[in-house]
Amino acid sequence: MTEEETARSQQSEDCLSLLNMVSATTTQQSNCRLCFCPTEVKAMLLDLPNFKDMVLTISECMLCGDKTRAIKTGSEISPKGKKITLAVKSLLDLELEIIKSETCSITVPEIDLELTRGTLGTQFTTIQGLLNMVLNDLQRHVTSISSDSNHSEESQNSALADFLIKLERLAKGMDNFTLIVDDPLSNSFIQQKEYSDLVQEDYERSEELNQELGLSFNHLLSQSEEQAQA
DSSP secondary structure of 189-204: EE---TT-EEEEEEEP
Report helix, strand or coil for 207: helix
CATH 3.10.20.30 for domain 81-137+169-222, yes or no, is no
**Of residues 163, 215, 211, 185, the one with CA closest to residue 101:** 185
Query: Average pLDDT of the chain?
Result: 80
Residue 134: is its pLDDT beyond 50? yes
- Domain boundary assignment for the chain: 3-73, 81-137+169-222
pLDDT band at 68 (very low <50, low <70, confident <90, very high): confident
Report pLDDT digits (tens) over 77-132: 888 999 999 999 999 999 999 989 889 999 999 999 999 998 888 888 899 999 99
List Cβ neighbours of 82 (8 Å cut-off, separation of 6 or more): 182, 183, 186, 188, 200, 201, 202, 203
Percentage of the chain exceeding pLDDT 70 = 75
Report pLDDT digits (tens) over 31-53: 988 899 999 988 888 777 667 77
Residue 81, Cβ density class (10 Å: 0-12 exposed, 13-18 middle, ≥19 buried): buried
> What pLDDT is stored for residue 50 in this prediction?
66
Give the Å distances, CA to CA, from 60 to 1, 35, 67, 209. Answer: 17, 12, 4, 36
List Cβ neighbours of 213 (8 Å cut-off, separation of 6 or more): 103, 184, 185, 205
CATH 2.20.25.420 for domain 3-73, yes or no, is yes
DSSP designation for 2: -
| Angle in degrees, 0-180, between the axes of helices 3-14 and 127-146, rounded to the nearest 10 | 170
> What pLDDT is stored for residue 45 in this prediction?
82
Tell me the backbone φ, ψ of residue 40, rounded to 5 degrees.
Answer: -100, 135
29 contacts 40 by C-beta, under 8 angstroms? yes
Report pLDDT digits (tens) over 163-211: 999 999 999 999 999 999 999 999 899 998 999 999 999 999 988 888 8
List Cβ neighbours of 20 (8 Å cut-off, separation of 6 or more): none
25 contacts 11 by C-beta, under 8 angstroms? no
| Cα three-residue angle 187-91-55, rounded to 5 degrees | 25
pLDDT band at 216 (very low <50, low <70, confident <90, very high): low
**Listed range (3-17, 163-177, 214-228) with the worst mean pLDDT:** 3-17
125 contacts 136 by C-beta, under 8 angstroms? no
